[in-house]
Amino acid sequence: DALTAVVSRMEYIGFDDNKMEATYIRLPERSEILPEIKENLIVELYNK
C-alpha cells in the first residue's frame, strides 16, 4: 500500500510492486535530482 501512495515515481528507478522492490535503471540526469540536494556539499565531504 505504501508504494501505491507514491504520487510521482522517478524515471530512473524501476519498481516491482509484486516483490516490493526498487532498482536503479540508470543514473539520474542532473535535472532529475531533487533541488533540496546540495551537490557542492556532497563533493566537499568526499574531498576531505
pLDDT the model gives residue 23: 92
Number of separate helices (H) and strands (E) present in the chain: 1, 2
- What is the pTM (predicted TM-score) of this model? 0.52
What is the reported pLDDT for 48?
Answer: 79
14 grid coordinates: 524501476
Q: What pLDDT score was predicted for residue 17?
A: 81
**pLDDT computed for residue 24 by the predictor:** 92
**CB-CB contact of 14 with 25 (8 Å):** yes
In the chain, the DSSP E strands lie at: 13-16, 21-24
The Cα–Cα gap between 12 and 9 comes to 9
- 15, 22 contact by CB (below 8 A): yes
Q: Largest Cα–Cα distance in the chain?
A: 42
For the stretch 1-48, pLDDT in tens is 565 665 567 889 998 888 989 999 999 898 888 778 788 888 888 887
